[in-house]
Amino acid sequence: MQKMIYVLSDIHGNMTRYNSIMEQISLQKTDTLYILGDVIDRCPDGIKILRQIMKCDNIKMLLGNHEYMMLEVLAPYRKINEQEYAHLINLWYRNGGEVTHNYLKHIRKEHRVEIFNYLKSLPLEFEVTVNGKKFLLVHASPAQEYNKSTKFKNETEFALWNRWHRGNDVPKGYTLIFGHTPTYHYRKIKPYQIWKEGRAIDIDCGCGYSEGRLACLRLDDMKEFYAE
């Protein structure tokens, strides 16, 4: 049986759209699905989807800026004062985090700790080779492009928050696949579609918004799947 490699990003708690993609790709045990972060927030089922992902050995996940915001506010290993907490929770809520926070308040403490530990272990990028072609999978931007002249205080925040723009560098020898920035930013057509230009591919089709949709890309043949 041929092993298939899939990539999707920015599910943002939309279980209906996530289930639609999973039904279409019919993920087999020999396949691998890479999720480029932002499973949670905006829609209500982010934690449910995240816990499903955690149980699947053939689903690999990157940290997204929304998971990062949650960890900054809630992770038990974090020590922050009231002023910093107020700033961080306001940032998270402004980006759709309240629905996730409310859900977390009603699950067992040990399950919350499992989630936090899982998220804390997640990488910022994956390198994948398919049919001899090398792909660099990131949430927002390649961490290696970080420099201290940017507005971001460290490499992690740059990789999770910096929007990739036309003309930005793509690491030599790779095709860059990223999420974080809805494709409408690059090509103003609806319904949103996966955007490709040169060696850059954006797969965030705005699933966190009512007018968006969830997209998945199969790297073996570059077939596109969209939630129904």
pLDDT digits (tens, 9 = 90+) for 15-28: 999 999 999 999 99
Q: What would the mean pLDDT of 179-185 be, rounded to a whole number? A: 98
- Does pLDDT of 77 surpass 80? no
Cβ contact 69:91 at 8 Å = yes
| Helix/strand/coil for 191 | coil
At 112 the pLDDT is 95
Mean pLDDT across the chain: 96
Q: What would the mean pLDDT of 1-11 be, rounded to a whole number? A: 94
- Does pLDDT of 150 surpass 90? no
| Nearest-angstrom CA–CA distance, 82 and 88 | 10
Query: How many structural domains are present in the chain?
Result: 1
At 3 the pLDDT is 95
Sheet with 223-226, edge to edge strand ranges: 59-61, 32-35, 5-8, 215-218, 223-226
| Enclosing domain of residue 179 | 5-226
At 80 the pLDDT is 86
| % of the chain residues with pLDDT over 70 | 99
Q: Is the whole model's pTM more than 0.95, yes or no?
A: yes
At 176 the pLDDT is 98
Cβ contact 137:6 at 8 Å = no
Buried b (16+ CB within 10 A) or exposed e, 162-187: bebeeeeebbeebbbbbbbbbbbbbe
Q: What would the mean pLDDT of 75-98 be, rounded to a whole number? A: 92
At 1 the pLDDT is 66
| Nearest-angstrom CA–CA distance, 71 and 61 | 16
CATH code assigned at 12: 3.60.21.10
| Nearest-angstrom CA–CA distance, 200 and 60 | 21
- Does pLDDT of 161 surpass 70? yes
131: left (phi over 0), alpha (psi -120 to 50) or beta: left
The β-bridge partners of 32 are 5
